[in-house]
Chain A
Amino acid sequence: METINKNLSRRNFIKLSGLSGAALTLGLYMPAFGKESSTEIISEATAENLGIDLNAWISIDTSGKVTITNHRAEMGQGSFQSVPQIIAEELEVNLDQVNIIFAQGNNKKYGSQITGGSSTIRGNYQKLLKLSATAREMLIEAAAKKWNVAKSECYAENGFVIHKSSGKKLGYGDLVEDASKLQPPHDVALKDPKDYKVLRKSLPRQDTPLKTNGTAIFGLDKKLPGMLYASVERNPRFVGKVKSFDDSETKKVPGVKHVLKVTRDTFGNMFEGVAVVADNTWAAMQGRKALKVEWDDSGFEYHSTDQLYSKMKEQVKGDVISFKTKGNFNSSFAKADKKLEALYETPYESHSCMEPLNCVANVTADACEIWGPIQAPDWVQGNLAGALKLPMEKVIVNMTFLGGGFGRKAFTDYPFEAAMISKEIKAPVQVVWSREDDTTLGPFRPGMVYQCKGGLGKNGMITAFETKMAGQNMNQQNPGADRTGYNSSTTEGLLEPFFESIPHYSFGDSPLNSPIPVMWWRSVYASTNGFALESFMDEMALEAGKDPLDFRRSHLGEQRYQLLIDKLEEVSGWKKRGKNEGYGVAITECFTSIVGEVVKVSKKADGKVRIDKVWAVMDCGWYVNPDIIRGQVEGSIVMALGAATKHATHFADGKAVEKNFNTYMMPRITDIPEIEVYVMENEEKAGGVGEPGLPPFTPALTNAIFDLTGKRIRVLPFKLEEI
């Protein structure tokens, strides 16, 4: 496998991928941009005639080598492996015949490239399957014509077309020239999943060897000739302006070359900073330490965690913006047999990717090229073309490997800042965020407060359910944003069938007004909603006198959910628990995947609570690689464990308090329970894999702690040692 990362015009693609001219190249073409349903598969020749650019290619050259473009980022979630696995299946080639090339930011060409919402596979697999199957059919047709036999007498296997009765075979490489002259057939048949040979197998990831010997190139590893390094002092209170700065000491640091004011576009708000540019990272950082900046912080309040949370707690008492309602909550709640009310709080969190933010920019008089760990290259391209007043095609955005993303690297501020510095100093530059910058400047997962109310009928079923949520709305950060609209993520995480089985409900939010930048954090609002909603389900189940699994069973009619609950019960030994063991369950839905988790806790000899084991059952519908799914669920559980029991971002005097891993504490190898992951088999559409394992962990844990100790945890994070 190789990675090439160059300007991928159609001709360049052919050239750079080492394909000979006589290749079979097929692509996805969306005549009406943005309308995915109108996607067509067309050949390179047709594209050439029409003068259009293809939208993701698959190419087979005369040696039989297959090359594809990957227009999504690889940030650990495995798209580097999953995409070739899909291609190999329907194309009938071995995985090692498939090369993958990272594509550059180009919205026109690829449609949305944002790697977010766990969408790489679920948004594209059907198109990729069809593209590969189409190429395969064309190769078979070319062979049949050559042999003068019926197409139905031939089949494809391992990169060859074989004639059944005679056993004659031809390699794909020998067929591409003829095949490329054929019209792509419409409506090719796709395989039945039970015939899969490559899909649904735990094949090893092809990027693994690059990540065990230091050769994988992350953003921070990108070097250009003549490249300088920058470290930027930014206002710790986010929004203020630079009043003045004194760089007399900075300029004395050996290696420092430039000191300059710089802006960073954050949701349309221009944040200011002072950049120190030097010939190595260390010198830039030292120069920055010697810098004195005076900030103009006027015009906004210095927030603190206490203030923010008392505001949110006040807000959930009042009116909210309604998102989803059914029946009449108030009257049915008033009549309920049993009533319950609870308040839940979740903290602000930093993404803290292992690779701190960084970006390389090279801006010249008439072009801009970017390299970096970037989740949304097309957004960066659009943002910079506007800011630099360059035509889109003059802004080239290259994705490196990402040392974690989790939503933070979908943001365009750090490439913007790098480009501004490069433009000013007229040299390529790498901006390196220190860990402290990365931890304190956000955007953060927004802190949230939830007020839940529930009413139960005599039969132990929920009759009325209300959630009021307060917290920042990520979509209302631009200057002049409309703040009257509801937060469409208010019920994110809640299982769909609850909307069927609960006769009266009301969900709404009250947005918190704050200058703190906030952004998607792995599984987004489901990561906090899930805690409130699934803790409250547990509280209601116990109030109803029901077993928490059975309680869910009776509310979740659909078979898909029943099967998942059965599986959870079976693998975890839910009803066979020992005397001094606490069991908790939670089930959430996120990016159309359903995940249930059971956590088992017990008391150690010293009386402290220990997490013994987690069982996770993932139903993500159609899937590619079970081992990648298991890894993603394991990772999601560890990340949730951190946010539940280890770290939180607090604010004081308008600034983030926790700055580095000595105060923003990460889970360590010593904190990790045994984790068992199961994947459901069904024919549902593909759901997300990278995020949905996260939301159920925390409520399953706190529900288990209640089961063991009778202590209900409603505020995160909490310390396991202090229970």
Chain B
Amino acid sequence: MASLNLKINNKTYTVDADPKMPLLWAIRDIVGLTGTKYGCGIAQCGACTVHLEGTPVRSCSIPVSAAANKNITTIEGISPDNSHPVQQAWIQEQVPQCGYCQSGQIMAATALLKKNANPSDKDIDAAMQGHICRCGTYPRIRKAIKTASILMSQKASTK
């Protein structure tokens, strides 16, 4: 057991955990933020995706000790009020069905759009193919990423 500082969504949590515990379970069971989901535990499905220093990572497959004192963003930290263009696009295109995979999908999409404001279909494929949606919302995910890209450029131009 070790005492570690986790900086999640700009808030610091001190957790007492096995340093080998995957970040996922520390976030869910100890910190109590449940938006980040467990899907496979072996880096295959993307449901557990969070940002570590702005980069999307599979929280099921990195030990909590590796994330200590680094900036972590979870789905709860994307915006306080569903106002992020990716969230807006997801609502506009009515992407979620059961919704379980969507935290991970949204985390991947926000990271993609931050790097690449106008992604091609190929770019979307590359960024999103690690994310499983059993409900099959893939056609809408693709559409929503394109919508988000437009929303972001509109936002930028009105600034």
Nearest CB of A to B132, in Å: 5
Contact A214 B134 (CB under 8 A): no
Chain A residues within an 8 Å CB radius of B100: 218, 353-355, 403-404
In the complex, whether B71 has a CB less than 8 A from a CB of chain A is no
Contact B99 A76 (CB under 8 A): yes
Contact B30 A280 (CB under 8 A): yes
| A354-B134 contact, Cβ under 8 Å, with A220-B34, A627-B94, A662-B44 | yes
Contact A404 B82 (CB under 8 A): no
- How far does the alpha carbon of A639 sit from the alpha carbon of B38 in the complex, in Å? 20
In the complex, whether A217 has a CB less than 8 A from a CB of chain B is yes
Contact residues on B (Cβ < 8 Å of other chain), bracket: 35 or more
Cβ proximity bits A229-247 to B, threshold 8 Å, 1 near / 0 not: 1000000000000000000
Nearest CB of B to A407, in Å: 13
A668 partner, pick from B79, B102, B132, beta carbons under 8 A: B132
Chain A residues within an 8 Å CB radius of B106: 212
Contact A212 B102 (CB under 8 A): yes
Interface residues of A in 605-639 (CB under 8 A from B): 627, 631-632, 634-639
Chain B residues within an 8 Å CB radius of A39: none
| A213-B138 contact, Cβ under 8 Å, with A220-B38, A355-B37 | no
Cβ proximity bits B119-159 to A, threshold 8 Å, 1 near / 0 not: 00000110011111111111111100000000000000000
Chain A residues within an 8 Å CB radius of B139: 634, 672, 674-675
Nearest CB of A to B44, in Å: 4
| A403-B78 contact, Cβ under 8 Å, with A281-B28, A434-B41 | no
Chain A residues within an 8 Å CB radius of B98: 75-76, 353-355, 401-405
Contact A352 B134 (CB under 8 A): yes
Nearest A residue to B89, CB-CB: A212
Q: Of A41-49, A144-152, A200-208, A707-715, which stretch is located at the interface? A: A200-208
In the complex, whether B62 has a CB less than 8 A from a CB of chain A is no
| A211-B38 contact, Cβ under 8 Å, with A636-B136, A669-B129 | no
Contact A634 B140 (CB under 8 A): yes
In the complex, whether A343 has a CB less than 8 A from a CB of chain B is no
Contact A208 B91 (CB under 8 A): yes
Cβ proximity bits B30-63 to A, threshold 8 Å, 1 near / 0 not: 1011111111111011010000000000000000
Chain A residues within an 8 Å CB radius of B79: 213
In the complex, whether A215 has a CB less than 8 A from a CB of chain B is yes
| A666-B132 contact, Cβ under 8 Å, with A214-B34, A631-B94 | yes
- How far does the alpha carbon of A406 sit from the alpha carbon of B134 in the complex, in Å? 10
| A212-B82 contact, Cβ under 8 Å, with A229-B29, A434-B41, A660-B42 | yes
Contact B129 A354 (CB under 8 A): no
| A209-B91 contact, Cβ under 8 Å, with A662-B42, A669-B125 | yes
In the complex, whether A198 has a CB less than 8 A from a CB of chain B is no
| A637-B90 contact, Cβ under 8 Å, with A214-B75, A214-B76, A403-B100 | no
B99 partner, pick from A401, A632, A662, beta carbons under 8 A: A401
Nearest CB of B to A666, in Å: 5
Chain B residues within an 8 Å CB radius of A406: 134
In the complex, whether B103 has a CB less than 8 A from a CB of chain A is yes
In the complex, whether A177 has a CB less than 8 A from a CB of chain B is no
Contact B21 A282 (CB under 8 A): yes
Chain B residues within an 8 Å CB radius of A214: 33-36, 74-76, 103
Nearest CB of B to A344, in Å: 24
Cβ proximity bits B88-119 to A, threshold 8 Å, 1 near / 0 not: 00110011111111110010000000000000
Interface residues of A in 564-613 (CB under 8 A from B): none
Nearest CB of B to A703, in Å: 21
Chain B residues within an 8 Å CB radius of A18: none
Nearest CB of B to A256, in Å: 12
Contact B87 A213 (CB under 8 A): yes
Nearest B residue to A202, CB-CB: B94
- How far does the alpha carbon of A204 sit from the alpha carbon of B87 in the complex, in Å? 14
In the complex, whether A667 has a CB less than 8 A from a CB of chain B is yes
Interface residues of A in 650-704 (CB under 8 A from B): 660-662, 666-670, 672, 674-675
In the complex, whether A223 has a CB less than 8 A from a CB of chain B is yes
- How far does the alpha carbon of A223 sit from the alpha carbon of B30 in the complex, in Å? 11
B18 partner, pick from A282, A434, A631, beta carbons under 8 A: A282
B44 partner, pick from A286, A661, A674, beta carbons under 8 A: A661
- How far does the alpha carbon of A461 sit from the alpha carbon of B39 in the complex, in Å? 50
Chain B residues within an 8 Å CB radius of A636: 136
| A668-B129 contact, Cβ under 8 Å, with A213-B35, A661-B45 | yes
Contact B97 A76 (CB under 8 A): yes
Most buried by B among A282, A286, A353, A405: A282
In the complex, whether A428 has a CB less than 8 A from a CB of chain B is no
- How far does the alpha carbon of A404 sit from the alpha carbon of B135 in the complex, in Å? 7
Contact B45 A354 (CB under 8 A): yes
Q: Can you list 28 A-B contacts (CB < 8 A)?
A: A75-B98, A76-B99, A204-B91, A205-B94, A208-B91, A212-B106, A213-B75, A214-B34, A214-B76, A215-B35, A218-B99, A218-B100, A220-B37, A254-B18, A354-B132, A355-B98, A402-B98, A435-B40, A627-B94, A631-B94, A631-B137, A631-B140, A639-B136, A660-B44, A661-B44, A666-B132, A668-B130, A668-B138
Apart from A280-B21, A282-B25, A634-B136, 12 more pairs, CB < 8 Å: A223-B32, A280-B29, A282-B18, A354-B39, A354-B98, A403-B100, A435-B42, A435-B45, A631-B97, A632-B97, A661-B39, A666-B134
Query: Which residues of A line the B interface, CB within 8 A?
Result: 75-78, 202, 204-205, 207-218, 220-221, 223, 229, 254-255, 280-283, 286, 352-356, 401-406, 432, 434-435, 627, 631-632, 634-639, 660-662, 666-670, 672, 674-675
